[in-house]
Amino acid sequence: MTASAVVTEVSAEPEHVKVRFNVSGDTVQAELHDFAGMRPEVEVGEKLLVVHDPQDPHRVLTKDWVDDPPFLSLPILGTALLALLCSALTVAVVLRRRWHLRTFGAPPHADAKTRTDNDYKARPAPVDQ
């Protein structure tokens, strides 16, 4: 639900913004929730539109953030970099494994006790063209 709120407190250490608004005739004072490290740059006494949860009016976001959330933020960038790193490592491991198999051949079979020495002939090296 959307409501008009008045900023009652702004502190910078750590950054908190508290607002006051009316819900069903009751006055609620709540702190704006922080998603993606983005908070509005406001001063005490300013009015702004907020969106709150009807079941828990103390969960509050600014309407601007709900309408147009930030595309890039620290958590999003961190997740993207971690996914890129994991993908790159996976590709590197697969390429190294392929190189190792081409260079040294396949490892001995799991049933090595039942195989004879003649079964372990080395593969010829691949011929580059």
Encode pLDDT of 8-66 as tens digits: 988 876 578 888 998 888 888 888 876 666 677 788 898 989 888 888 888 888 887 77
Q: Is residue 113 part of a domain?
A: no
Q: Is residue 35 part of a domain?
A: yes
Query: What is the total count of domains within the chain?
Result: 2
Could you tell me the residue range of the domain that residue 98 belongs to? 71-107
The 3-state DSSP class for residue 35 equals strand
Confidence of residue 85 (pLDDT cuts 50, 70, 90): very high
Amino acid at 40: P
- What are 52's two structure tokens? 């709150």
Residues 9 and 24 in one domain: yes
Residues 56 and 10 in one domain: yes
Residues 63 and 77 in one domain: no
Contacts 24+ apart (CB under 8 A), 86-91: none
Rounded to two decimals, the pTM is: 0.53
Do the strands 47-52 and 60-62 form a parallel or antiparallel pair, or are they unpaired? antiparallel
